Amino acid sequence: MVYKGSHIHMIIGTHGEKLENIMRDMKKHTSTALRQAIEQYPAESRRKWMLWMMKRAGSKNSHNADFQLWRQDNPPIELFNPSILHQKLDYIHYNPVVAGIVEKPEDYLYSSARDYCGLPGLIEIILVDPLHYDRA
């Protein structure tokens, strides 16, 4: 997973549950939790602006009651073979490098690239079969 300010890339798996249901529940939980955190943390300098943005986005979408954090038009992509999985994982890990945020994927605190390099990550992940970052 990589957080880059305006978006998140994730690779998630399921053992039978529909991916659409997982994404729906994840979006609902995180948007509610983030909204509550913003509302309850008065020291956040962008607090009013962020709440206004979420309320404005929600008012433009009939699927929401009064706020929106996540885009509606980002359907999951099935990673149907190991080659595609590794391609997407590589893209995710190198995203902050390409953006100029860090020099190496494992230097980005919010990336699972750290876990693949034996460094501690922020959240527990399940590694997909071992990858090696031997790039210069």
Instruction: Give the pLDDT confidence score for residue 115 in this predicted structure.
Output: 94
70 pLDDT higher than 50: yes
Write phi, then psi, for 26 (nearest 5 degrees): -65, -45
Which stretch of 24-28, 89-93, 99-103, 115-119 has the lowest confidence by average pLDDT?
Answer: 24-28
Instruction: Give the pLDDT confidence score for residue 135 in this predicted structure.
Output: 45
3-class secondary-structure state, position 8? strand
Mean pLDDT in the chain? 83
Strand partners for 8? 3
3-class secondary-structure state, position 27? helix
Which stretch of 5-14, 49-58, 125-134 has the lowest confidence by average pLDDT?
Answer: 125-134
> Domain span at residue 95?
77-136
pTM of the model: 0.70
Residue 7: inside a domain, yes or no? no
**33/83 same-domain check:** no
pLDDT digits (tens, 9 = 90+) for 21-53: 888 898 889 888 988 998 898 888 888 888 888
**86/113 same-domain check:** yes
**85/43 same-domain check:** no
Alpha carbons 61 and 7: distance in angstroms, whole number? 19
Residue 20: inside a domain, yes or no? yes
Residue 107: inside a domain, yes or no? yes
**pLDDT band at 72, cuts 50/70/90?**
confident
Q: How many domains does the chain have?
A: 2
Helix axis angle for 47-59 and 19-39, nearest 10°, is: 140
Mean pLDDT of 84-111: 93
